[in-house]
């Protein structure tokens, strides 16, 4: 039903990031380019999945956040905040699932991986690999969530247990 589309992702991302006024989603800013892409690829419409980023927030769409205040840090959270929209070959957005609500995330056991300060020294190949794989899994799950919100039927995978070093 849905086929992957080859696109100049760098150019589309850059155009989205340069948007000065965003109403419901940054995808709005590239709908003309996506419409051209749909025509060139011979599809009637394209589902665009775009990472959502916030000004002044150092952890953008796909991120890992470790936070502790008074107690020792036990868990970190891996996020993958994405928005989605269906853009037709005529350049019309016919469905939108914007940022925020209903997305999945993944808890990571910080103690077992020894994630502390300074971060750059603690992001060992093992920790980086785990975070990379976890971020990928959360992103795929959230892509399913967004598709479902757009009205495209998919089975959303069940939540995974805490990622812990074995």
Partner 1 sequence: MSKILILAVSLLLSACSMPLNQSSEQDFKSLGVVSLVSGNAAVARYGLTVFNNDFATLALDPDLNQTVEGEVAQASASRVRSGWSNRSPPTAVRSSRR
> Within positions 63 to 92, which residues make up the interface with partner 1, using CB under 8 A?
63-70, 82, 86, 88-90
Q: Quick check: 61 binds partner 1 (CB under 8 A)?
A: yes
Is residue 119 close enough to count as binding partner 1 by CB under 8 A? yes
Distances in whole angstroms, Cα of residue 32 to Cα of each of 37, 88, 103, 123, 161? 9, 10, 27, 40, 41
Give yes or no for a contact between 62 and 102, defined as CB atoms under 8 angstroms apart. Answer: no
Task: Please report whether residue 114 would count as binding partner 1 according to CB under 8 A.
Answer: no
| Binding flag, residue 35, partner 1 (CB under 8 A) | no
Contact call for residue 37 and partner 1 (CB under 8 A):
yes
Determine if 19 is a binding residue for partner 1 (CB under 8 A): no
Least Å from the CB of residue 29 to partner 1 = 11
Cis preceding linkage at 118, omega within 30? yes
- Which residues between 143 and 162 bind partner 1 (CB under 8 A)? 143-144, 147, 149-155
**Cα–Cα dist 157/142, whole Å:** 10
Instruction: By CB under 8 A, tell whether 117 contacts partner 1.
Output: yes
Is 46 one of the binding residues for partner 1 (CB under 8 A)?
yes
Per rule CB under 8 A, is residue 97 in the interface with partner 1?
Answer: yes
Q: For strand 93-97 and strand 82-88, is the pairing parallel, antiparallel, or unpaired?
A: antiparallel
- Of 140, 8, 159, 123, which is closest to residue 62 (Cα–Cα)? 140
């Amino acid at each position: 039903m849905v086929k992957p589309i080859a696109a100049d992702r760098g150019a589309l991302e850059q155009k989205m990031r340069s948007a000065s006024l965003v109403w419901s989603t940054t995808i709005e800013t590239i709908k003309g380019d996506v419409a051209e892409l749909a025509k060139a690829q011979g599809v009637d419409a394209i589902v665009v999945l775009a990472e959502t980023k916030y000004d002044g927030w150092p952890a953008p769409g796909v991120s890992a956040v470790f936070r502790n205040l008074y107690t020792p840090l036990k868990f970190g959270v891996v996020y993958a905040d994405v928005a989605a929209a269906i853009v037709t070959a005529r350049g019309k957005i016919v469905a939108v699932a914007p940022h925020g609500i209903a997305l999945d995330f993944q808890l990571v056991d910080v103690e077992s991986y020894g994630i502390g300060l300074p971060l750059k020294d603690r992001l060992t190949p093992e920790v980086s690999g785990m975070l990379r794989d976890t971020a990928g899994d959360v992103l795929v799950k959230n892509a399913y969530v967004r598709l479902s919100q757009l009205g495209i039927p998919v089975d959303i995978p069940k939540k995974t247990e805490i990622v812990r070093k074995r």
